[in-house]
Structure 1
Amino acid sequence: MKTRSKLSRNLWIAVWLLVALLQAWQHFREKPAPPVPEPDGHLVVLKHARLVDDSGNDGDSFKIAHDGGEQVLRLYFVDCPEKRQYALVNGRLKDQAGYFGGLSIPQTVSLGMEAKAFTEKLLREQDFTVQTRWERVYDSARSYALVFFDDGEELSEKLVKAGLCRIHTKGTMMPDGQREFDFENRLRALEREAKAAQRGAWGKPKRAPPKPKP
């Protein structure tokens, strides 16, 4: 009887070890390498791009499917507020809140959710074209990209006009030959218009500045 009990216990231990090994293999197995950047910086059009619902989607980063598979993209030029608050983004949220003139953290997170909804609505309802050089975003699997709509505007322009992002991240030369500096100047002009019209973040009530100590 004791021998049978010992065998049963050993069998369960072996099963749990096998499960643990399978989980470890799943976690550490080699992932497919992302596409290699074009050596000459040439922009590649991702054919038949369409939005993929994903929990990681936000205003400036989102997953798409295209004829070559799936890819998580990150916009050039702009940074939308975080859509939730957690320890790793607290510093960034404070910077984003300050950029918009002193929003509260809850206001900034709410703005991030607005930006997410704005981008997803555009990508679901309008035709768009994605162009990328497969340039990696730091050490992540994301790639920088440009997203153009049929009206000729790029997604970063639409986000800036709506007051839903800051002009803050890597830029690039545009497909029409427009220099990075010139396109950023265009975004700055659109941002001034959004401020004047009090769109998005620019129309939200700001926190009162701290009173000077007597």
Structure 2
Amino acid sequence: MKRRSSRGSRFLWGLLWLSLALLQAWNHYRDKPVSTQPPEAESRFVALADAQLVEDAGNDGDSFKIAHDGSEHVLRLYFVDCPEKRLYPLVKNRLKDQAAYFGGLSIPQTESLGLEAKALTEKLLHEQRFSIQTRWERVYDSARSYALVFFDDGEELSEKLVRAGLCRIHTKGTWMPDGRREFDFETHLRALEKEAKAAKRGAWGRAKPVPSTSNP
């Protein structure tokens, strides 16, 4: 009986100490102002002007190497995912997902789209003036950093790729440097994608392979 009483006392003391700790935490945070800024506001975008595209075997439609201020960086676009340029074991499932996203294309058709996306991105970055906005947010545990690429006409590279029907809207998004919410910009991209589908541009104009049928 005495042992049970001792256990009960320890339990009550534990509850008391937990209550005190919670009360102290509440007192500490109750008057702390609630931020109305997006989560990324703590890490503002940095503008990289006068960057140049660096020719690299790893460049594709949504990921590429640039040179800026004496350093080289590999950047990855927010919001969009371009098809892979070639099939190898590591991207086999991703290529299948990309092919399905575009309505059931074949793997060769999807690879071809990846090469078109790479060509468009390189053409734009070579022929037009652009500015990069980045927060140096790492892509998983790789050396790449997420970024946005804006051209003099005000459009971002993801908009041009979606408009051309050369990518899927599928990856990490972000609040925009001009204050637009992630949801709003993605909704805008969805509208551009709808237009690309209606105009049968890029992937949306490809003839779907006819499923083979075997005789019983």
Which residue in the other structure is 1:108 paired with?
110
Match status 1:73 vs 2:54: no
* Equivalent runs, 1:124-203 vs 2, <5 Å: 124-203=126-205
In structure 1, distance between residues paired with 2:212 and 2:184: 37
In structure 2, distance between residues paired with 1:95 and 1:209: 17
SS at match of 2:42: coil
* Residue identity matched to 1:46: L
Cα RMSD, aligned residues only: 1.8
Q: Which of 37, 40, 43 is equivalent to 1:41?
A: 43
Q: Deviations over 1:174-200 (max 9, x none)?
A: 011000000000000000000000000
Q: Deviations over 1:91-140 (max 9, x none)?
A: 00000000000100000000000000000000000000000000000000
Between stretches 154-163 and 60-69, larger displacement belongs to 60-69
Which residue in the other structure is 2:208 paired with?
206
* Residue identity matched to 1:164: L
Deviation >3 Å, runs of 4+: none
Q: Deviations over 1:8-30 (max 9, x none)?
A: xxxxxxxxxxxxxxxxxxxxxxx
Offset at 1:67? 1.2
**Does the CA-based 8 Å contact 1:47-1:67 persist in structure 2?**
no
Offset at 1:86? 0.4
**Does the CA-based 8 Å contact 2:49-2:130 persist in structure 1?**
no
In structure 1, distance between residues paired with 2:92 and 2:136: 29
Offset at 1:72? 0.2
Offset at 1:207? 2.0
* Residue identity matched to 2:188: R
C-alpha change, 1:178 and 1:68, in structure 2 (3 Å) is farther
Offset at 1:208? 2.8
**Structure 1 unaligned residues grouped into runs of 5+:** 1-37
* Residue identity matched to 2:208: K
**Does the CA-based 8 Å contact 1:93-1:105 persist in structure 2?**
yes
**Structure 2 unaligned residues grouped into runs of 5+:** 1-39
Which residue in the other structure is 2:124 paired with?
122
Offset at 1:209? 4.9
- Number of equivalenced pairs: 177
In structure 2, distance between residues paired with 1:162 and 1:39: 31
Q: TM-score, normalised by structure 1?
A: 0.79
Which residue in the other structure is 2:20 paired with?
none
Offset at 1:42? 0.1
Between stretches 157-166 and 64-73, larger displacement belongs to 64-73
Which residue in the other structure is 2:33 paired with?
none
SS at match of 1:113: helix
Which residue in the other structure is 2:92 paired with?
90
